[in-house]
Amino acid sequence: MWRACKPLYSGHKNPAKTGNNDTCRPRVAGYLPRRCNRQGCDGMDGSFMGEHSFSPDAENARALRDALGRFATGVTVVTTQSDQGPLGITANSFASLSLDPALVLWAPGKFSRRFEAFTAAEHFAIHVLGAEQMDLARHFARDGLDFDLPNITKGVGDTPLLAGCLARFECRRHALYPGGDHAIVVGEVLRVSTNEGAGLSFFAGSYGAIATD
């Protein structure tokens, strides 16, 4: 039996969503679910209009990455003072968490050689990059120790600070949580700086710009 479910475009056969084992029917006039023929699609639901559905496993890690990459983000550079000196990393896992108290978070990956230093850091700064700072994003994705850059200053806890970013949050580590192959670092914001300008975005593996108007 067909049964309408939320959200509108869902075509999932998911007892958790429908409350029984019926296949959900998209509530969009004219659309009937069609099975997905793509390789790797588990065919468990009524995927339609070229939709590709799968349960994440080792075989489809690439497809999972691609799906996650469809969430557009801004781009940040996180910096800290490490045993080896100033350290930076490009990160798009940044999120605001709480206004009162002022908390933000980001997620260093265990795959990174910089993981230990960033999870151990007592202080760090998160720099929200502007549209003109794609080179800086590429720079700190490649190399965390190269601070041969103009206008580097020092902030709370000797943290290296980059100039000309849209926003900068100087933080003290508030909490550290496990997050699968990442850790979740929550920072208490001690100081904030802002500049005007368009933002640097990251979507489907490519950089772009987000203007205010």
Ligand X SMILES: Cc1cc2nc3c(=O)[nH]c(=O)nc-3n(C[C@H](O)[C@H](O)[C@H](O)COP(=O)(O)O)c2cc1C
Which residues lie near ligand X (CB under 6 A)? 75, 89-93, 107-109, 112-114, 141, 144, 202
Q: How far is the CB of 124 from ligand X (least distance, A)?
A: 13
Amino acid at 129: L
Residue with Cβ nearer ligand X (70 or 113): 113
| 68 close to 110: Cβ distance less than 8 angstroms | no
Strands of 85-91's sheet in order across: 85-91, 76-82, 123-128, 167-179, 182-194, 103-106, 95-98
Parallel, antiparallel or unpaired: strands 24-25 and 3-4: parallel
154: β partners:
160
| 160 close to 193: Cβ distance less than 8 angstroms | no
Region of 43 on the Ramachandran plot (φ > 0 left; ψ -120 to 50 alpha; else beta): left
